[in-house]
């Protein structure tokens, strides 16, 4: 399913970070949302992002090393990643505080950003986020699964969507970049649990009730550690709630954004 060329009929922008560049989708108008995708990459705006863009300005970077984009040579671990997003906010949005929405690996990135740079945030949304190690429910080790096995568990229902997602996750470059960030310690950040107390913006933790990769108990774990967090469980959704049921997921995020901001 790899698309060698990202569609350019929509507003794809380039942000310079030092001598490097990253590309990002810039859709809609309104208060800014910064969306961080996960292992499958981001080839074009999804229905979920378009739904958010009806009432917000949605910035969705093609994260470095995913979807045929180049890696940044100074980024070699999750510890480096928040600085990329800081550059996006400071340079592309002039430092305007954003609502940071991250899914899966991108959710982990969003959490790591929030504990470091919450002054750049208006609110935080974590959707089926990696980053924590649950004492009772180990996450599925997606590095040990093959593409077929992954496709059979990534969504609540099997079918074309699950296969397309798996093709993105198992794209050779996406997979290698994922390993760079999440191979070891595997799929979690040992320091994150102790640091989540520093998130001081409103936070929403969204999980699919049928997430077979990261048990919904992880949502409670995040919520217990983030002082400002509320949780929302979406019925009939798996690990990819925002792709499986984009309208429902977008509605839930918009509800939260509408009722919360640093000023409230």
- The contact set with other proteins (CB under 8 A) reads 76, 143-144, 146, 172-173, 175-180, 183-186
Closest distance to other proteins from the beta carbon of 113 (Å): 21
Q: Cα–Cα distance between 133 and 178 in angstroms, integer?
A: 18
Q: Is the dihedral of CA 118, 121, 125, 130 positive or negative?
A: negative
Closest distance to other proteins from the beta carbon of 180 (Å): 5
Do you know the residue count of the chain? 264
Helix 172-182 with 105-116: angle, nearest 10 deg: 40
First-to-last C-alpha distance (Å) of the chain:
43
Between 171 and 245, name the residue whose CB sits nearer to other proteins: 171
Q: Give the three-class secondary structure for 117.
A: coil
Between 123 and 174, name the residue whose CB sits nearer to other proteins: 174
Closest distance to other proteins from the beta carbon of 76 (Å): 8
Closest distance to other proteins from the beta carbon of 128 (Å): 21
Between 136 and 146, name the residue whose CB sits nearer to other proteins: 146
Q: In the structure encoding, which two tokens stand for residue 263, read together?
A: 């000023």
Q: Cα–Cα distance between 254 and 125 in angstroms, integer?
A: 10
Closest distance to other proteins from the beta carbon of 149 (Å): 8
Q: Cα–Cα distance between 264 and 261 in angstroms, integer?
A: 5
Closest distance to other proteins from the beta carbon of 95 (Å): 32
Between 32 and 168, name the residue whose CB sits nearer to other proteins: 168
Q: Cα–Cα distance between 189 and 173 in angstroms, integer?
A: 22
Which helix (H) or strand (E) segment holds residue 32: the answer is strand 32-36
Q: Is the peptide bond before 110 cis (omega within 30 degrees of 0)?
A: no
Between 91 and 148, name the residue whose CB sits nearer to other proteins: 148
Between 183 and 198, name the residue whose CB sits nearer to other proteins: 183
């Amino acid at each position: 399913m790899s698309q060698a060329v990202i569609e350019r009929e929509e507003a794809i922008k380039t942000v310079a970070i030092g001598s490097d560049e990253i590309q990002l989708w810039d859709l809609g108008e309104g208060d800014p949302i910064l969306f961080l995708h996960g292992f499958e990459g981001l080839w074009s705006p999804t229905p979920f992002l378009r739904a958010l863009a009806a009432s917000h300005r949605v910035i969705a970077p093609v994260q470095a090393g995913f979807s045929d984009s180049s890696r940044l040579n100074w980024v070699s671990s999750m510890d480096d990643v928040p600085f990329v997003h800081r550059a996006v906010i400071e340079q592309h949005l002039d430092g305007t505080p954003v609502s940071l929405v991250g899914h899966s690996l991108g959710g982990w990135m969003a959490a790591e950003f929030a504990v470091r740079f919450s002054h750049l945030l208006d609110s935080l949304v974590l959707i089926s986020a990696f980053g924590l190690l649950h004492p009772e429910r180990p996450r599925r080790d997606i590095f040990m699964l093959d593409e077929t096995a992954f496709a059979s568990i990534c969504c609540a229902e099997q079918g074309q969507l699950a296969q397309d997602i798996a093709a993105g996750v198992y794209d050779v470059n996406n997979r290698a970049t994922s390993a760079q960030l999440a191979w070891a310690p595997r799929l979690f950040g040992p320091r994150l649990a102790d640091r989540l107390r520093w998130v001081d913006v409103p936070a929403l933790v969204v999980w699919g009730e049928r997430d077979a990769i990261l048990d919904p108990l992880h949502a409670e774990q995040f919520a217990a550690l983030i002082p400002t967090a509320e949780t929302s469980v979406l019925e009939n959704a798996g690990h990819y709630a925002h792709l499986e049921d984009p309208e429902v997921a977008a509605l839930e995020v918009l509800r939260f954004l509408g009722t919360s901001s640093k000023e409230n």
